Amino acid sequence: MVNNISRILLSASLFTLSTTANASLITNGSFEQLAFNDNTQVVGAANNTNLASYQSMGSAWDVFYTLPGWVTTAGSGIELQKNVVTQSQDGATHVELDSDMKSAANTVMSQSLTSLTVGADYLLEFFYKPRTNAINDNGVQVFWYDSGTSFDQNMAAKFIVDGTKNITPSWVKQSVVLTAQAETMDISFGAFGMKNSFGGLIDNVSLVQVSNAKVSDIPEPSIFALSLLGFGLLVRRHTKRTKNKVLAGK
């Protein structure tokens, strides 16, 4: 029975996967959202630019503690750029995390992802472009951890990209597969290297589920509970059939 239930589970989860395969789980992955759902107004710490006014500006840059979907978890804030260093890979805006503040600091921005499937794989993709020709100046690290854990600069990065503009003059797609260890995971992007207000540029971040948890990864108590449920359904069906037979006088 467990085998049958496993097959049903697998079919059900494959169906779910096929219907959600293309939906990115990242909020504001292209950094184009200039308004919060609750209408919170935010102003940049460097130039006092209201986030909403990016819409009408031909070019702009400022440093924000929060953007829709993203929050600063280390450093001085997220630098949102529009047509000042380069065109964006997607849309009109992108971010840089070696932010231009009086004391330039390598910033970490984070987002929580909920309702993940423990044990399932997720493909993270984003576009990266190094701003300068200097070595050790444009690095970006990706961290992925259970939301119950606070971000820590000493965490091991799940992915690292670094480069220089002369060798990598255009946006390049980066990809890494991440496995969910909890239903709610945090993803963080952090700049590393020289803190000089010039760093790696990031745009078009997406995260999609690419595999289910293996049936063998489902905790045994769940299979046992499902077995009981299946057994209960069979008993109910059998009882109903017997009752119908009795009513029909068979």
> Does residue number 79 form part of the binding site for Ca ion (CB under 5 A)?
no
Size of the site for Ca ion (CB under 5 A): 13
Q: Which is nearer to Ca ion, 174 or 179 (CB)?
A: 174
Contact string (CB under 5 A) for Ca ion, positions 8-47, x = contact = ----------------------xx----------------
State whether residue 172 is helix, strand or coil. strand
DSSP string, 82-129: ESSSS--SSSS-EEESEE-SSS-EE-EEEEEE-SPPTT-EEEEEEEEE
Could you give the C-alpha distances from 221 to 105, 166, 217, 231, 235, in angstroms and in order? 48, 56, 11, 15, 21
Q: Which one of 88, 99, 110, 111 is in contact with Ca ion (CB under 5 A)?
A: 88
Contact criterion met (CB below 8 Å) for 171 and 128: yes
Tokens (6 digits) for 64: 């924000």
Closest distance of CB 167 from Ca ion, Å: 16
**Binding span for Ca ion by CB under 5 A among 72-80, 83-91, 171-179, 236-244:** 83-91
> Does residue number 130 form part of the binding site for Ca ion (CB under 5 A)?
no
**Binding span for Ca ion by CB under 5 A among 33-41, 145-153, 203-211, 217-225:** 203-211
Say how far apart CA 205 and CA 91 lie, in whole Å: 12
Summarize as ranges the residues that interact with Ca ion (CB under 5 A): 30-31, 88, 90-91, 94, 98, 137, 194, 196, 198-199, 203
